[in-house]
Amino acid sequence: MKDVNKKEAFIDDKKERQIKIIRGFSTIVDYVVMFIFLLLMIFGCYSIWDNNQVVGEAGATHYEAYKPTSEDTTSFEELQEINDEVIAWLNVYGTQVDYPVTQAKDNSKYLNINAKGDFSLAGSLYLDYNNNPDFSDFNSIIYGHHVEKNAMFGNLDKFQDKKVFDTYKYGNLFVRGKDYGIEFFAYVEADAYDLRLYNPDIKDKKQQEEYLSYLLSISTYSRDIKVSTSDRILLLSTCASDATNGRYILVGRLGDEIFKDSFSDNKISEMNNDSSFSNSSLFGISIFVILILLLLLLLLLYLWLRRKRRNDQEEAERIEDAEGNKKMD
């Protein structure tokens, strides 16, 4: 009888040790899962913070202190002293496109370098390296990233809306101490590898005529403005958000006539708060909210499963205890 009791006691001790091991393992799993949730939360918050940093650095207000005016170009010259590859200042009236323009010996440098010469994921607006820096070519191309919250060329896709295209018609280019007016006459959606379009500094007159004809033939919208080979045209190009090789291009005519900026600060603010100009901001906020809700949902599911597992374990222990008591009786 004593041997039987010892055997049962040994079995009970073994079961108790097994239960302790299982509980210990379960606790470790709980801590690991909680740690993973914490990492996900930290990563999500960091990603949003980092994105806001990129957008903040890319915002037009980041450079407004250097913007040249008709009365004073000293601040712009100071920027050129910081980075001697700054060649111009571009302003598309009524939008947030109001930036310095750079030019390097290739078209890759300013993809991740800002106008001050510092590393930045938003890069800088830059003129094609094949173009003359004085914008004297028949066709000059300025590139820029399509950044959230309408930074850099983040406004250009909004010209898909005919109302926007009809409203924001003019701009200004300051280069080598002189202002030039820009009259936008076409909006194009194209492929990045369309060499008929991305062909800067065309010299031959016949090729220039063919270029203009092709550009207008593929345009989404165009204005009835007489543009000839004697004009200088300017293409503002950025990446499309819905196609890997897609490009949005706003095309203007560069001339000596200076157009008045009819948009007050209030109107600009209203325009950029309008739904057509705030989709990217809403998208960013939506992603953040969805991320938080998803993490909370997963956390609640985990806590429910954890509670259920513990209840099942307690129920199993009660049953074992009851069976043990019956045997004792």
Mapping DSSP onto H, E and C, the string for 120-158 reads CCCCCEEECCCCCCCCCCCEEEEECCECHHHCECCCHHH
Give CA–CA dist 247/239, Å, rounded: 5
Give CA–CA dist 220/248, Å, rounded: 10
In 3D space, the residue among 289, 43, 274 whose CA is nearest the CA of residue 167 turns out to be 274
Backbone phi, psi, residue 228, to 5°: -125, 180
Residue type, 244: T
Does 62 qualify as catalytic in the annotation? no
Q: Cβ distance 84 to 48 under 8 Å?
A: no
In 3D space, the residue among 89, 240, 60, 263 whose CA is nearest the CA of residue 150 turns out to be 60
Q: Cβ distance 250 to 92 under 8 Å?
A: yes
In 3D space, the residue among 294, 292, 280, 290 whose CA is nearest the CA of residue 51 turns out to be 280
Reported as half-sphere exposure (CB side, CA atoms, 13 A), residue 165 has a value of 19
Q: Cβ distance 142 to 234 under 8 Å?
A: yes
Does 239 qualify as catalytic in the annotation? yes
**Residue of 45, 62, 145, 146 marked catalytic:** 145
Tokens 């374990």 sit on residue: 313
Q: Which residues are catalytic?
A: 145, 239
